């Protein structure tokens, strides 16, 4: 695999998934993986403790955590992992979404200017700050 004109090696597909716009790294991905691992581990341990509780008269606990407590811990871990992943996705795609929204507002202003409605053709900053983006516009040309 040859170097790019800039002298850097191209990223593999898996490495590109951890890179943001402009090539900056996204350090939260290992943390998301850790939360998912903790969630599944606590769920598995809780299932084992519950199986022991059902099959015997002994009521086991791990560091005073009952099986239900471990299910709650796993739900919290999965919730945090999902939240962090969603925030990371939004942050990585924000420049593209803003570009699509700005392009749509500018196209509307050009269309109104061609029709001769110059007062309405001025671009309102509120339209740019609060874009309504359809999913097909956000992904067009980026597949």
Q: Is the pLDDT at 54 greater than 60, yes or no?
A: yes
Tell me what the mean pLDDT of segment 14-33 comes to.
Answer: 66
Q: Where are the domains of the chain?
A: 26-139
Q: pLDDT digits over 72-95, tens only?
A: 999 999 999 999 999 888 888 788
Q: pLDDT digits over 28-47, tens only?
A: 888 999 999 999 999 999 99
Residues constituting the chain: 143
- Residue 102: pLDDT band (50, 70, 90) is confident
d(CA 97, CA 119): 27
Q: Is the pLDDT at 125 greater than 60, yes or no?
A: no
d(CA 106, CA 121): 9
Structure tokens at 121: 């053709």
| 110 burial level (CB within 10 Å; 0-12, 13-18, 19+) | exposed
DSSP string, 42-94: HHHHHHHHHHHHHHSS----BTTB-HHHHHHHHHHHHHHHHHHHHHHHHHHHH
d(CA 28, CA 81): 10
């Amino acid at each position: 695999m040859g170097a790019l004109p800039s002298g850097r090696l191209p990223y593999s597909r898996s490495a590109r998934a951890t890179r943001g716009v402009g090539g900056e790294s996204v350090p939260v991905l290992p943390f998301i993986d850790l939360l998912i691992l903790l969630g599944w581990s606590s769920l598995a341990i809780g299932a084992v403790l519950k199986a022991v509780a059902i099959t015997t008269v002994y009521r086991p606990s791990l560091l005073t955590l009952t099986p239900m407590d471990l299910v709650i811990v796993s739900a919290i871990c999965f919730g945090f992992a999902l939240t962090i992943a969603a925030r990371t996705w939004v942050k990585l795609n924000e420049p593209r979404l803003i570009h699509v929204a700005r392009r749509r507002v500018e196209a509307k202003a050009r269309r109104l200017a061609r029709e001769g409605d110059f007062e309405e053709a001025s671009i309102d900053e509120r339209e740019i700050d609060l874009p309504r983006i359809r999913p097909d516009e956000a992904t067009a040309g980026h597949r």
